Amino acid sequence: MPGLGSIGLPELLILLVIIIIIFGVGKLPEIGGALGKGIREFRSASEGSGTEEKSAEENEKKEEEKEE
């Protein structure tokens, strides 16, 4: 099964035609936008654990500065 990992241009064109037949041309921008939004949210959530820790540390520093 060495050929399963590579998707060429003909396969992509067949997939595009099937998607157009199923969803129609009018829905493609909506589907693309929703897919992009989902990817952005996933990235921000996966990177969010580190940023949450940083923001918590920054809030603690600000509170300490206010107390002084």
Answer whether residue 1 is part of any domain. Answer: no
Answer whether residue 31 is part of any domain. Answer: yes
Domain count, the chain: 1
The whole domain housing 43 covers: 25-68
Answer whether residue 6 is part of any domain. Answer: no
Q: How far apart are CA 64 and CA 3, in angstroms?
A: 60
Instruction: Note the pLDDT tens digit of each residue in 30-65.
Output: 988 999 999 999 999 888 765 555 666 777 777 766
Mean pLDDT of 7-31: 89
Question: Under a CB-based contact definition with an 8 Å cutoff, are residues 17 and 25 in contact?
Answer: no
Q: What does the pLDDT read at residue 46?
A: 87
Three-class DSSP category at 3 = helix
Q: How far apart are CA 41 and CA 35, in angstroms?
A: 10
Answer whether residue 8 is part of any domain. Answer: no
Q: What does the pLDDT read at residue 7?
A: 82
pLDDT band at 21 (very low <50, low <70, confident <90, very high): very high
Q: Please indicate whether residue 67 or residue 41 has the higher confidence score (pLDDT).
A: 41
